[in-house]
Amino acid sequence: MKTVHHWIGGKAVEGASGTFGPVTDPATGERTTRVAFVSVEEVDAAVAAAKDAFATWATSSLAARTAVLFRYRALLDGHREEIARLITAEHGKVHSDALGEVARGLEIVELACGITTQLKGELSSQVSSGVDVASIRQPLGVVAGITPFNFPAMVPMWMFPVAIACGNTFVLKPSEKDPSAAFLLAELAAEAGLPAGVLNVVNGDKVAVDRLLEHPDVAAVSFVGSTPIARHIHTVATAHGKRVQALGGAKNHMLVLPDADLDAAADAAVSAAYGSAGERCMAISAVVAVGATGDELVRKIVDRAVKIKIGPGDDPASEMGPLITKAHRDKVASYVEGAAGQGAQVVLDGTGFTVEGHENGHWLGLSLLDHVGTDMDAYRDEIFGPVLCVLRADTYEDGLALINGSPWGNGTAIFTRDGGAARRFQLEVHAGMVGVNVPIPVPVGYHSFGGWKDSLFGDLHIYGNDGVRFYTRGKVVTTRWPDPSDGGVDLGFPSHK
């Protein structure tokens, strides 16, 4: 059985703790790999390697840093297939979706290649006679990243390329459920010439995370995962004096107004709800149908959903793969099983679905729940599976109030032909990312990604300009080169002349 170890100080380091976690192929239910769980001492060794590397990496020229990143970009480009295959083998998502994940991660590496334009700083010349003021941004030191299972390559790439381009060194703790892709990302970075210790990977669970949160040499923590853990990370790491951005879970709503193109809305709802088996933090999990659109929209969603081909992610015919673990599959199924008892109409029930020849895979078919109420479990919890809830609202205002009543505020979308309504929605909805006739509005790399409310703890979004601000701190330098004729003691507060 394959073992995934750690990457510390520029090389693979065998786990010494003697503790391992299982990695399963979700399409077969077989344990294919084990992942070493790091000890506190091994986390300390990774942070020490990153601290050592910081001294030279932070002072290396921008040209030297970006040269490595350009080589890294080329290597990643050449390994798209290999990275995507690792994602599919451990996460289960279909190959085309895994390739899409790699492409979106590469976008951030490309952003990091152009970091020179984002680190230019500002200069005000002659603010007073002979005095100039410059604002510069400098790296923080060792920063840590903790990432979820659902984007095992892309989410780490939301973090470390920007952090290291800014001159920091990095310790990544990927999800223990699908760790192989992140390990390959670190190996390729070394092949691109990234100096030893600049990017380290430690595998494991809470032991590893808790040590990173309290380690005195970790300056900042980026986290992406579920809301309860995001809240924990933010609370503990800030109490230890660290800068933190902790992105949490979501329940993303799609508001469909009566004037919307219902075919386009149904296409979007099916793609965004069931893509990657609903295991996306930007998945649409609640459609809010306004006015009389509901019944026709549900019919159109059903027409499309029943045609989706579910199967192993490495089968090119498959459009949707299995869920990450058996336990998660069962938890998702329980929401569908309990929905009718709480008053929802179960239009599609995917709980009995299986794939012939792969009976031990973590399969679920597509489920569609209609007439869902805001008090039902299927609405109140983040299900994170192929279950779409449809809610009804009488007016735009009712639909908006429903969405704004959610504790989460990651992404949301409006489907309409009315520009005025769309504009109102952009301004009035309480969410960090808004789509207008776009169901999954994940921002491109040069904008930033982040939610509101329980979807983000901390104030800076990830990547884009916010990413650069997060991974750097400001310094303002006031300079004067006095003329030999100037001089004299002056105890007054400096004023401008």
Q: Which residues are marked as active site?
A: 281
Contact assessment for residue 72 and residue 188, using Cβ atoms and an 8 Å cutoff: yes
For the chain, give the longest Cα–Cα distance: 91
Give the torsion through C-alpha atoms of 185, 190, 194, 200, to 10 deg: 60
Which residue sits closest to ligand NAD, CB atoms considered?
225
Nearest-angstrom CA–CA distance, 237 and 325: 29
The smaller minimum CB distance to ligand NAD, of residues 183 and 384, is found at 384
In what order do the strands lie in the sheet containing 252-256? 345-348, 367-370, 387-393, 284-290, 252-256, 411-415, 433-436
The smaller minimum CB distance to ligand NAD, of residues 38 and 400, is found at 38
Element (H, E) at 332: helix 326-339
Residue 71's contacts (CB-CB under 8 Å, 6 or more residues apart) are 192, 193
The smaller minimum CB distance to ligand NAD, of residues 399 and 458, is found at 458
The smaller minimum CB distance to ligand NAD, of residues 328 and 392, is found at 328
Q: Rounded to the nearest whole angstrom, what is the least distance from the CB of residue 158 to ligand NAD in the complex?
A: 8
The smaller minimum CB distance to ligand NAD, of residues 408 and 415, is found at 408
Q: Rounded to the nearest whole angstrom, what is the least distance from the CB of residue 470 to ligand NAD in the complex?
A: 14
Compute the residue count for the chain: 497
The smaller minimum CB distance to ligand NAD, of residues 167 and 313, is found at 313
Rg (CA), the chain: 25
**Burial, 196: exposed, middle or buried (Cβ in 10 Å; 0-12, 13-18, 19+)?**
middle
Q: How many CB atoms lie within 10 A of CB 315?
A: 17
Q: Which residues bind ligand NAD (CB under 6 A)?
A: 146-151, 155, 173, 175-176, 205-206, 209, 224-226, 229, 232, 247-250, 281, 382, 384, 410, 451, 455
Do the strands 452-453 and 408-409 form a parallel or antiparallel pair, or are they unpaired? antiparallel
Q: Rounded to the nearest whole angstrom, what is the least distance from the CB of residue 462 to ligand NAD in the complex?
A: 7
User: 3-state class of 170 per DSSP?
Assistant: strand
Nearest-angstrom CA–CA distance, 401 and 416: 17
Q: Rounded to the nearest whole angstrom, what is the least distance from the CB of residue 316 to ligand NAD in the complex?
A: 26
Q: Rounded to the nearest whole angstrom, what is the least distance from the CB of residue 133 to ligand NAD in the complex?
A: 37
Beta bridge partners, 409, equal: 452
Nearest-angstrom CA–CA distance, 437 and 422: 9
Q: Rounded to the nearest whole angstrom, what is the least distance from the CB of residue 227 to ligand NAD in the complex?
A: 6
Q: For the chain, give me the number of helices (H) and strands (E)?
A: 16, 23
Nearest-angstrom CA–CA distance, 378 and 443: 28
Structure tokens at 343: 């008053």
The smaller minimum CB distance to ligand NAD, of residues 142 and 208, is found at 208
Q: Rounded to the nearest whole angstrom, what is the least distance from the CB of residue 236 to ligand NAD in the complex?
A: 9
